[in-house]
Amino acid sequence: MRKKTVRDLSDEQLRGKRALVRTDFNVPLDENCDITDDTRIRAALPTLNFLLEHGARPVVLSHLGRPKGKATLKYSLQPVAKRLADLVKAKVLFVESTDTDEAMKASAELGENEILLLENTRFLGGEETNDPRLARALAELGDFFVNDAFGAAHRAHASTAGVAGHLHPAVAGLLMERELDFLGNALANPKRPFVSILGGAKISGKIDVIQQLIEKVDALLIGGAMACTFFRAMGLETGRSLVEEDKVEMARGLLDRAGTRIILPHDATVAPSLEDAAKAHAVSRNGIPADEAMFDVGPQTAESYGRAVASAKTVLWNGPMGVFETPPFDKGTLAVAKAMAEATGLGATTIVGGGDSAAAVTQAGLADKMSHVSTGGGASLEFLEGKKLPGVEALDDLAAA
C-alpha cells in the first residue's frame, strides 16, 4: 500500500499550518561537536523547502547519537540548528527542549518562513520506549505530521511511529518517498539484468538480505570478509581471515540453493595483518596463506565485478569489498564504486545502501554519480530484508484519502 506524502496534502492542509517534521539529523560530529558530514541535513532540505513554499511552518524533531534518555551537551542539536540556518532561506529557531511549555509556546508562535528545531528526542526517556504519553505530547506540537527520517524508520519510537497515531494527516516527506521508491522498485520490478553486490565484515547481519535478494537478482556478487565464510564452506584455506565459524553451514546451504547466482571472488588481496599493509599481495582464492588474512578482493575479481556491474540495468550495493579504511585494501571497493558510477551514465539504476558503503562512495567523490545513495544504514537493510518499517507503517495510506 502506498503511503501519503506531503505532495498529497491540499493547499488548505498546508498553508499557515504547523508541520511536525521528524527528520534524521543524526550527523557525525568531531570532538569539538563540529559536524563532519552534513549529508543528512542536506537530504532533508527538499521536504523543508516544500513545506515553506506552501506556507507551512516546520517544527522539526530529530535524534542524534545515543544519549540514552539523558540530556548530554555532546549530543545537542544546537550545531545542527546552525548548519541548517546556513542551508535554508528561512529563519531557524532552536529550543533546548522538546515536550515542554517552552517548546509548545515556540511552536504556537512560529511565523511564516520560520523553522523551529527542538532538542534531541533521545534526551527524553519515553522516546525509545515509544511512551504513548510522550507521543501525545509531541503530537501537540504540530497540526499534521511528516516523517522524513528514513534512517530512523526501522525503530518504533515515540517521534517516529508513536506520534503518527495521534496526529493526522501523517504523511511521508520527500526523502522518505525517494528512499522507499528506489529500494522498493529495485526489489519489486528491477530492470534486468539486476546485479547486487554484498560485502562488509559480517555475514551474520546480512543473512536475511542474502536470502531475500537471491530470489530476485540475476547475480549476487560477494565481497568483504563475508566471502571468507563462503570460502570455508567450499573447503578452502582462509588463513587468519575473519570467518564466522557458526555460519559456515548456512553458507554451504546458500551455495547449494543459489547455484551459479552467487558469485565469489576468484582472487584475494592478503597480508599478514592490517598493520602490515605494505606486504599486501594478491593470491588466487585457492592460495590464501595459512598465516595471512584476506583484506580485500583481488585485482581480477575487482575487474570482473566491474564488468558485471557495467552490463547491469539495476545495481544494488551494500557493504564494502574490503577494509577500505586502510589502503591499499580500498581497491576492490573503489572498483565497484567506479563501475557503478559509469553504469549510471549508461542508464542503469544504481543504488548504494549501508552506512560504510555510502561513506566509501562519498570518500571517492562518486556519491552524485549514483542514482541513489540511501541515508539509512540499518533501515535500508531491514527494508531489503522485507521487514515492515514501523515509521512507515504508521503513516496514512494513500487510498484512505
Which residues are catalytic, by number? 40, 202, 355, 378
Interface residue with ligand ADP, options 224, 239, 298, 376 (CB under 6 A): 224
Question: Per rule CB under 5 A, is residue 224 in the interface with Mg ion?
Answer: no
Question: Per rule CB under 5 A, is residue 382 in the interface with Mg ion?
Answer: no
Quick one: 126 or 320, whose CB is closer to ligand ADP? 320
Quick one: 140 or 385, whose CB is closer to Mg ion? 385
Interface residue with ligand ADP, options 162, 173, 354, 390 (CB under 6 A): 354
Shortest separation between residue 223's beta carbon and ligand ADP, angstroms: 7
Question: Per rule CB under 6 A, is residue 225 in the interface with ligand ADP?
Answer: yes
Interface residue with ligand ADP, options 67, 162, 200, 239 (CB under 6 A): 200
**Which of the stretches 79-87, 88-96, 130-138, 198-206 binds ligand ADP when contact is defined by CB under 6 A?**
198-206
Quick one: 225 or 262, whose CB is closer to ligand ADP? 225
Quick one: 57 or 232, whose CB is closer to ligand ADP? 232
Phi, psi of 167 (to 5 degrees): -140, 115
What is the identity of the amino acid at 39? T
3-state SS of the chain?
CCECEHHHCCHHHHCCCEEEEECCCCCCECCCCCECCCHHHHHCHHHHHHHHHCCCEEEEECCCCCCCCCCCHHHCCHHHHHHHHHHCCCEEEEECCCCCHHHHHHHHCCCCCEEEEECCHHHCCCCCCCCHHHHHHHHCCCCEEEECCHHHCCCCCCCCCHHHHCCCCEEECHHHHHHHHHHHHHHHCCCCCEEEEECCCCCHHHHHHHHHHHCCCCEEEECCCHHHHHHHHCCCCCCCCCCCHHHHHHHHHHHHHHHHHEECCCEEEEECCHHHHHHCEEEEHHHCCCCCEEEEECHHHHHHHHHHHHCCCEEEEECCCCCCCCCCCCHHHHHHHHHHHHHHHCCCEEEEECHHHHHHHHHCCCHHHCCEECCCHHHHHHHHCCCCCHHHHCCCECCCC
> If binding means CB under 5 A, how many residues of this protein chain bind Mg ion?
2
Joined grid coordinates for residue 37? 558530514
Q: How far apart are CA 225 and CA 297, in angstroms?
A: 9
Shortest separation between residue 385's beta carbon and ligand ADP, angstroms: 12
Shortest separation between residue 265's beta carbon and ligand ADP, angstroms: 10
> If binding means CB under 6 A, how many residues of this protein chain bind ligand ADP?
19
- Classify residue 113 as left (phi > 0), alpha (psi -120 to 50) or beta: left
Quick one: 168 or 202, whose CB is closer to Mg ion? 202
**Which of the stretches 56-64, 202-210, 264-272, 352-360 binds Mg ion when contact is defined by CB under 5 A?**
352-360
User: Residue 385 binds which entry of ligand ADP, Mg ion, none, with Cβ cut-offs from 5 to 8 Å by kind?
Assistant: none
User: Residue 390 binds which entry of Mg ion, ligand ADP, none, with Cβ cut-offs from 5 to 8 Å by kind?
Assistant: none
Interface residue with Mg ion, options 67, 126, 355, 376 (CB under 5 A): 355
Question: Per rule CB under 6 A, is residue 96 in the interface with ligand ADP?
Answer: no
Phi, psi of 363 (to 5 degrees): -55, -40
Joined grid coordinates for residue 109? 508562535
Question: Per rule CB under 5 A, is residue 356 in the interface with Mg ion?
Answer: yes
Quick one: 136 or 240, whose CB is closer to ligand ADP? 240
Contacts of Mg ion in 49-88 (CB under 5 A): none
Question: Per rule CB under 6 A, is residue 265 in the interface with ligand ADP?
Answer: no
**Which of the stretches 92-100, 169-177, 250-258, 350-358 binds ligand ADP when contact is defined by CB under 6 A?**
350-358
List of residues contacting Mg ion (CB under 5 A): 355-356
Residues lying near ligand ADP in the complex (CB under 6 A) are found at: 199-201, 224-225, 242, 294-295, 318-320, 322-323, 325, 354-357, 377
